[in-house]
Structure 1
Amino acid sequence: MRKKILSALFTFLLFSNVVLAKPNLSDTSAVKVAVLLPMHLDSLFKYGQYRYKNTIPKFALPGLEFYSGVQMAVDALNSEGVNARVEVVDLYKFGALNTLYSFSNPNMPNLVIGVVQNAPELRQVSDKAKEFQIPFISASYPNDGGITNNPFLYITNSTLNVHVKSVAEKVKENSNAKTVVVFVRNGNRDARIQSFLDAAAKDMKKFEFKYVNLTDSFTVNSISQHLDSTNVNYVVGGSLDSRFGARIVKALSSVSASYTTRIFGMPTWDDQDFTKAEYKGVEVVYTTPFVSYTLNPQLYNTLNAEYKKVANSRPSDMFFRGYELTYRYVKNLAANKEKFVNKINEKDYKVFADFNFQPVSNGENKIDFYENDKVYFILKADGVFKSIL
């Protein structure tokens, strides 16, 4: 694994970018795609020497995993004869962004796919996308970063509003109750979640949410007094703090013999390990825009096996995200070069998930950005994946 990754790093070091797919120079019909990744080469290397011996710092892993997925996707596209030029650019290499977005660049991309790691980076790249009128597909958190009036930004990682609205709709669909309990942290620290839930409830007839404020030292009784022993309880964990969410699940587990409960959490809850005995007996549901292991199991298993051959380990979600977004949108662009933005939601090129980009408006008839409003519900019982709802 280390040798493979370090080899990729040295390649990036020697060249400001890596061209993974390069059609004949005389072929002007080929589409051009750039993939911006946070490779951190200026931090990883000093005077051409790798600084971390045989280890890989955590801050470099997302870019490396995504890069591996891009590589494998390009191999698949090449085998299918897709006419495209795909280059990978280190977002953190000095001057790389200005070199890419330049009218003197003979390989100005038709599309940019990227992984950014904070709101300023998202704004910097999306501003370039708007200036040069080149669609930018953002593959990671942060979501919108407060960006407005930029119809060239496409966000795959759905904003909190989409997640919460989807939770509200799914809870109403599952529960026969007219009022559903939402456990929130005391102090209004997750006020946005409450506002989004209330907005969603307004569009539903005879349905509302009841908020139960919990202190940091809440007791099991603070939870159980709101449960019904005669029915399945559908409740919402209204906090982005996954550790706080885990404490709620632990409390629900302690009374699971008397109360059957399914709790709908936030997308941040996916980083919690609910396999421990203290969480057993509770069904936990959370949302995500990215799924791979169930919607195309044959491809998932093939990619898993191929990755293991070269890396001797299991790939991360970022690997599958790199594969999925590269394969899907490079192929889509190659087939619909002039009409790409109008056909960006075409399902003919679907890999794992459905991405459904819809315009988000600021109320002034201007598009702030396009957002993927499709999320999936992952159901886990005793920490083990059960199904997609």
Structure 2
Amino acid sequence: MKRSWIALSLLVGALLTGPHLYLKAQPAAPSEKKIRIALFAPLYLDSAFDKNNVDRFGAKQFPKFIVPGLEFYEGALLALDSLNKEGAAIDLVVFDNKSSTQSITQQLSSPACNELDLILTYCAATELKYFAAAGKEKKIPVVNINLPNDGGVTQNPYLVLLNSTLPSQCQSIYNYIRTRFPKQQLVVFQKKGMLEARIRTYIEEAAKKRGGTPPAIKFVELSDSFTVQQLVPWIDTVKSTLCWVGSVEENFGKRISQQLVSLAKQRYKVTVMGMPTWDGIREFSKPEYRGADLLYCTPFYSPRTDSVSMAIETFFNNQLYARPSDLVLRGYEALWRFSKLVQRYGKESSLHLGSKSFSLFREMDIQPVMTAGNPPLIQYYENKRLYFLKWQDGFLKAAN
């Protein structure tokens, strides 16, 4: 955690002198317009430090809830440095969207947010509407890097979700199963819950959209105290079964995966598919999860073999004594990609949000989500590109 304290100490020292941190660019060339970006991250500075800039937790108790926002900020800062070295004129204004002294609405209406060209956010679903509304009013792109849902935002052609929404996740997983495992029987195991009911609806809709003659899908609802014997009737020692864990709850996913793997070791033929929330489960490398393939998908996969990823890794290893997380790459990618878009298209950048240009660590497929009306209207933009991975004998591999 040493590097987190270093970065946070530098950030808090700046932010506590005012309501935001302003990182000023080098002077713009006469023919080049300066770009102004606002970055909103959940830094929880008021929780971590008192008014005298003294941390509340001590050097050995770094609060984990601060880490995601800090890593997003670190990645964006590295991208800003790279762009400035290229000669780009970019001003970055950083806000703590968990501030106890200013609401998000107050932050967005402050003078620091005048004449913005781009807003980058890591936020809660309940907060997204404020950023989306600001982007729509200012007619500038608003890019969210974390949410897998639209937060209730509608008819906003300026909002971009880099995470895929739940309906898109279910559609992609279903299409993948139909393509890669066309002959396997499909069983969806779920726990009882409102979100699981929605996932079932999305899977059924995915089957209809796919067309053709879809294989029968068996939905099995399990109680919280389910046993391995309750799984046995739904799988086979002769025919292969694709077991889709239709829940985003990690503990449910880990428990059922472990039990299905134990059955696979008893010669039951199973392949297990999970939801994108499995991307953070490192326990799948342990021996008790070895014996069956455990698959899932994520929009944020990167093999980290490109020159930029390797340079970031080297910087973190040498300067911060750590390995950069996925959120560092997301922060770098979002600021770099969409700054380039604004540089090229200026005030018309919102008309090119689906551009395939400026890919960095991975390809994205940013598409408009349309209303059902006539004429259809853009609800928002969403990245629909998902990468499939699998845990096999303790190792994580690409499975596209």
Equivalent in the alignment of 1:110: 117
Instruction: Render the CA deviation track for 1:233-279: whole Å, top value 9, x for unaligned.
Output: 32211112221122221122112231342211111222332122221
Structure 1: distance between partners of 2:184 and 2:392? 25
| 1:52 pairs with 2:57 | yes
| Equivalence map 1:1-389=2 (5 Å) | 1=3, 2-24=5-27, 29-50=33-54, 51-54=56-59, 55-93=61-99, 94-95=101-102, 97=104, 101-102=108-109, 107-116=114-123, 118-141=124-147, 143-177=149-183, 179-186=185-192, 190-203=196-209, 204-207=211-214, 208-257=216-265, 258-272=267-281, 273-294=283-304, 296-364=305-373, 365-389=376-400
Structure 1: distance between partners of 2:71 and 2:245? 31
Is the partner of 2:171 in helix, strand or coil?
helix
Is contact 2:43–2:66 with CA below 8 Å preserved after alignment?
A: yes
Kindly state the Cα deviation for residue 209 of structure 1 after the two structures are TM-superposed. Answer: 1.4
State the aligned residue count: 387
Is the partner of 2:279 in helix, strand or coil?
helix
Q: Percent identity?
A: 31
Which stretch shows the higher mean deviation, 326-335 or 106-115? 106-115
Structure 1: distance between partners of 2:110 and 2:331? 27
Relative to structure 1, the CA distance from residue 349 to residue 187 in structure 2 (aligned partners, 3 Å threshold; closer, same or farther) is closer
Is contact 1:36–1:88 with CA below 8 Å preserved after alignment?
A: yes
Is the partner of 2:127 in helix, strand or coil?
helix
Structure 2: distance between partners of 1:142 and 1:373? 11
Which amino acid is the alignment partner of residue 233 of structure 1? T
Alignment gaps of 5+ in structure 2 = none
Alignment gaps of 5+ in structure 1 = none
Is the partner of 1:385 in helix, strand or coil?
strand
Which amino acid is the alignment partner of residue 298 of structure 2? T
Is the partner of 2:264 in helix, strand or coil?
coil
Kindly state the Cα deviation for residue 137 of structure 1 after the two structures are TM-superposed. Answer: 0.5
Relative to structure 1, the CA distance from residue 58 to residue 144 in structure 2 (aligned partners, 3 Å threshold; closer, same or farther) is same
Q: TM-score, normalised by structure 2?
A: 0.88
Aligned CA-pair RMSD: 2.4
Which stretch shows the higher mean deviation, 204-213 or 47-56? 47-56
Structure 2: distance between partners of 1:158 and 1:231? 33
Which amino acid is the alignment partner of residue 18 of structure 1? L
Structure 2: distance between partners of 1:325 and 1:104? 24
Kindly state the Cα deviation for residue 376 of structure 1 after the two structures are TM-superposed. Answer: 1.3
Which stretch shows the higher mean deviation, 243-252 or 297-306? 297-306
Relative to structure 1, the CA distance from residue 136 to residue 225 in structure 2 (aligned partners, 3 Å threshold; closer, same or farther) is same
Which amino acid is the alignment partner of residue 163 of structure 1? Q
Kindly state the Cα deviation for residue 98 of structure 1 after the two structures are TM-superposed. Answer: 5.1
Instruction: Render the CA deviation track for 1:172-229: whole Å, top value 9, x for unaligned.
Output: 0011327411112256761111101111111331113111222333333332332233
Structure 1: distance between partners of 2:232 and 2:80? 53
Instruction: Render the CA deviation track for 1:69-95: whole Å, top value 9, x for unaligned.
Output: 111111111122223222322223444
Which stretch shows the higher mean deviation, 323-332 or 143-152? 143-152
Instruction: Render the CA deviation track for 1:21-69: whole Å, top value 9, x for unaligned.
Output: 5132785612222211122222223222222332431221111111111
Kindly state the Cα deviation for residue 283 of structure 1 after the two structures are TM-superposed. Answer: 0.9
Is contact 1:31–1:84 with CA below 8 Å preserved after alignment?
A: yes
Kindly state the Cα deviation for residue 384 of structure 1 after the two structures are TM-superposed. Answer: 2.1
Is the partner of 1:347 in helix, strand or coil?
coil
Kindly state the Cα deviation for residue 387 of structure 1 after the two structures are TM-superposed. Answer: 1.3
Relative to structure 1, the CA distance from residue 105 to residue 323 in structure 2 (aligned partners, 3 Å threshold; closer, same or farther) is closer
